[in-house]
Amino acid sequence: MDFSSQTRDSIAALWDSQIVPQLVDYIKIPNKSPMFDKDWAKHGYMDQAVALMETWAKAQPVKGMTVEVVRLEGRTPLIFIDIPATGSGEDCVLLYGHLDKQPEMTGWSAHLGPWKPVIEGDRLYGRGGADDGYALFGSLAAISALQEHDVPHSRCVVMIEACEESGSYDLPYYVDHLAARIGKPSLVVCLDSGCGNYDQLWLTTSLRGLTGGNLTVKVLDEGVHSGDASGIVASSFRVLRQLLSRLEDEVSGRIKPQELYVEIPAQRREQAQRPAQEL
């Protein structure tokens, strides 16, 4: 059997026997990101999720691994794992993931729910298993598989934050705090994206930018009868629509302000075309 089928088999066995049960327990914990649970610290769900992952990580037979929960005052916790190189060289690989979750939202099928893990066929339903609970398990499973098959690897640092769904506002503080211990990674693997199929390895090479704001249109200080005011007072809805149209062409979706454009590198266009062909 070749190396890739061996690792595929050993990871699949670990995944089914150990990791799926962990993810099932993880889904039950309503550890919503701070933006969706202001009292997250008091509720203690985030600590439960951290403890679940910390306990599992510490039990893994990874050579020389240290697992630590770092807690900066007033911030969400972060799991920091350091795995020494089994090969030579000073190189470092950083693996990233997060354990906080999106809120419940609506639209769940009657037999499913955010905090209710349900396995149907080869799918596990519930909030947070794929985004992004699997990241710590996936990282350590991959490194374990390398060690099991005596494949030398660089030093690996795994960082699992708990603030991603709120915009990762705590993460920069941890990166600064841990900078000396992280070192200088030559590769960052961010396990928090999607894939087009399960037939090949997919990498996300770019993401679109995002900006947000609140737009309020106010035309009156108090309500007035439509019979008195319509046609005289400006329509707040039309003002709103015109303001939005300054940003976006409502027919084509084209964004209007030139300031929001950048030169798209030729290779990015190519990278967008390749998956389209593949899929």
Q: In the complex, which residues of this chain contact Zn ion (CB under 5 A)? A: 131-132, 192
CA distances from 151 to 57, 142, 201 (A): 20, 11, 19
Pairing of strands 78-83, 92-98: unpaired
37/132 with CB nearer Zn ion = 132
Minimum Å distance from CB 232 to Zn ion?
Answer: 50
3-state SS record for 85-109: CCCCCCCEEEEEEECCECCCCCCCC
Contacts of 268 (CB under 8 A, 6+ apart): 205, 206
Pairing of strands 92-98, 187-190: parallel
117/128 with CB nearer Zn ion = 128
Q: In this structure, what are the phi and psi dihedrals at residue 80, rounded to the nearest 5 degrees?
A: -120, 120
75/101 with CB nearer Zn ion = 101
114/145 with CB nearer Zn ion = 114
Minimum Å distance from CB 133 to Zn ion?
Answer: 9
Minimum Å distance from CB 191 to Zn ion?
Answer: 9
Minimum Å distance from CB 98 to Zn ion?
Answer: 6
Minimum Å distance from CB 164 to Zn ion?
Answer: 5
For residue 98, give the nearest of 24, 192, 237, 179 by alpha carbon. 192
84/196 with CB nearer Zn ion = 196
Burial of 253 (0-12, 13-18, 19+ CB in 10 A): exposed
